[in-house]
Amino acid sequence: MNNLSQKRILLGVCGGIAAYKSAELVRRLRADGARVRVVMTAAASEFITARTFQALTGEPVLSDWSDDRTGMDHIELARWADRILIAPATADSLARLAHGRADDLLAAVCLASEAPLMVAPAMNQAMWRHAATRDNVELLRRRGVQICGPADGEQACGEVGPGRMLEPQALLQALSDAFCSARLAGLKVVVTAGPTREPIDPVRFLSNRSSGKMGYAIARAAREAGASVELVSGPVLLDVPPGVQRVRVESGQEMLEAVLERITDCDLFIATAAVADYRPAKPAQQKIKKPVADTSLQLEPVTDILATVAALDHRPFCVGFAAETEQLEQHAQKKRLRKGVELIAANRVGNGRGFESDDNELLLVWEGGTCWLPKDSKARLAHQLIEKVASLYPQRSNKQISSEYHAKHSA
């Protein structure tokens, strides 16, 4: 599976003979669809030019503070990255990272970034074995930095031992693996996404602004967490995420049928689609011609897919969304109980929020807890949502939620 597609990789290049291999790594990352930005140290420019990386990435390369034109470029870059890899990472760069230095651009970006950090050490074998380097590596490891390598073998200096940077293919694999958390390994997940179209006549329909971005990001994140994922999608203009099976539907009724066909052996159902609540009761068989005597449209309810799945005897763990313009938490809580689902992800919609945009913010509501996921890309929010779902699954395959609701609301 190519799970590097569209991933934002920040590659730090330090001054070592292995820097030439980083160019090949960038080429392979780009071939796999990753977006790559490069930050070089001053010492790296002694081994390879910024122009090489600029040509390979199609992006400007930052080497020192004078490249930080706005004074905030390094912060932007720190926020942009999904993951940072420093390859080659010299003994000096490991020491600087371990001690939180921020006096060169690469160290400052690493310090300012919340993205996971990976380093691929490359140095003379004696430097690698030195107690100071061992301590620095241990400190970084304890902080969650992933140490990739080094490999053993003949070194540029003629010595033999550990200190060779891993080959580009091995680093590519390490990056790819790093995006797979295995939190949902072995589970089958069904995700709905996008809008539905409810026909008025053969050429007109009722629909909404959903672009499918949120649902597709969730399908992708679930796949990257190791699940087998089926995506039931309304009409959108998005590519199928790698490794995900997609079925296209148009109307809410078609979406319901496609979901029910796939739900029997499903472990987790995530309803992200903006399904119409009502549809024209009597869609015309032929195009409606002007003038029409009666301009009103009679509507009938569309079956609630999420509530239907949640009411099944052998039901999966259910996650719903709530699109709200006000009172986010109150509406989300009510929706969770009314639909009988384990978790609701509520988002504010309208005025450019929620629908269509690349960013979102979510309030997660489950029994006994809430969690606010502040504004971020839909891709990152999807990963955070999947992490939360993985931590709650399986707490209860409830039937109790709807009785809780009826108990509260019939009183």
Catalytic residues: 157
Of 96-104, 261-269, 301-309, 391-399, the window that binds ligand PMT (rule: CB under 6 A) is 301-309
Nearer of residues 13 and 191 to ligand PMT, judged by Cβ: 191
- Minimum Å gap between C-beta 58 and ligand PMT is 27
Query: Interaction with ligand PMT in 335-364: which residues (CB under 6 A)?
Result: 335, 347, 349, 354-356
Question: Among 62, 78, 117, 214, which residue interacts with ligand PMT (rule: CB under 6 A)?
Answer: 214
Q: Does 318 interact with ligand PMT (rule: CB under 6 A)?
A: no
Nearer of residues 65 and 372 to ligand PMT, judged by Cβ: 372
- Minimum Å gap between C-beta 393 and ligand PMT is 17
Integer Cα distance of 192 and 272 in angstroms: 5
Provide the 10 A C-beta neighbour count for residue 50. 18
Q: Does 221 interact with ligand PMT (rule: CB under 6 A)?
A: no
Both tokens of 27, joined, read: 């080429």
Question: Among 37, 213, 336, 388, which residue interacts with ligand PMT (rule: CB under 6 A)?
Answer: 213
Residue 341 identity (one-letter amino acid): V
Integer Cα distance of 275 and 194 in angstroms: 8
Which residues, including other chains, have CB under 8 Å from residue 318's CB and lie 6 or more apart? 269, 271, 306, 309, 310, 339, 340, 341, 342, 343
Question: Among 179, 269, 317, 321, which residue interacts with ligand PMT (rule: CB under 6 A)?
Answer: 321
Provide the 10 A C-beta neighbour count for residue 1. 13
Q: Does 133 interact with ligand PMT (rule: CB under 6 A)?
A: no
Question: Among 206, 302, 343, 382, which residue interacts with ligand PMT (rule: CB under 6 A)?
Answer: 302
Of 36-44, 128-136, 145-153, 274-282, the window that binds ligand PMT (rule: CB under 6 A) is 274-282
Name the burial class of residue 75, with classes exposed (0-12), middle (13-18) and buried (19+) by CB atoms within 10 angstroms of its CB. Answer: middle
Number of helices and strands (H, E) in the chain? 14, 19
Identify the three-state secondary structure at position 83. Answer: strand
- Minimum Å gap between C-beta 76 and ligand PMT is 24
Both tokens of 344, joined, read: 């609701």
Which residues on adjacent β-strands are paired with residue 146? 118
Of 125-133, 148-156, 300-308, 383-391, the window that binds ligand PMT (rule: CB under 6 A) is 300-308
Of 31-39, 168-176, 320-328, 396-404, the window that binds ligand PMT (rule: CB under 6 A) is 320-328
Question: Among 252, 280, 316, 340, which residue interacts with ligand PMT (rule: CB under 6 A)?
Answer: 252
CA 374 to centroid of chain Cα atoms: 14
341 close to 364: Cβ distance less than 8 angstroms: no
- Minimum Å gap between C-beta 396 and ligand PMT is 19
Both tokens of 38, joined, read: 């490069």
Question: Among 91, 148, 322, 381, which residue interacts with ligand PMT (rule: CB under 6 A)?
Answer: 322
Pattern 87-116, binding to ligand PMT, x per CB under 6 A? ------------------------------
Phi, psi dihedral angles at 376 (to 5 degrees): -160, 175
Which residues on adjacent β-strands are paired with residue 288? none
**What angle is formed at CA 339 by the lines to CA 335 and CA 340, rounded to 5 degrees?**
110
Interface residue list for ligand PMT (CB under 6 A): 192, 194, 210-215, 252, 271-275, 277, 302, 304-306, 320-323, 335, 347, 349, 354-356
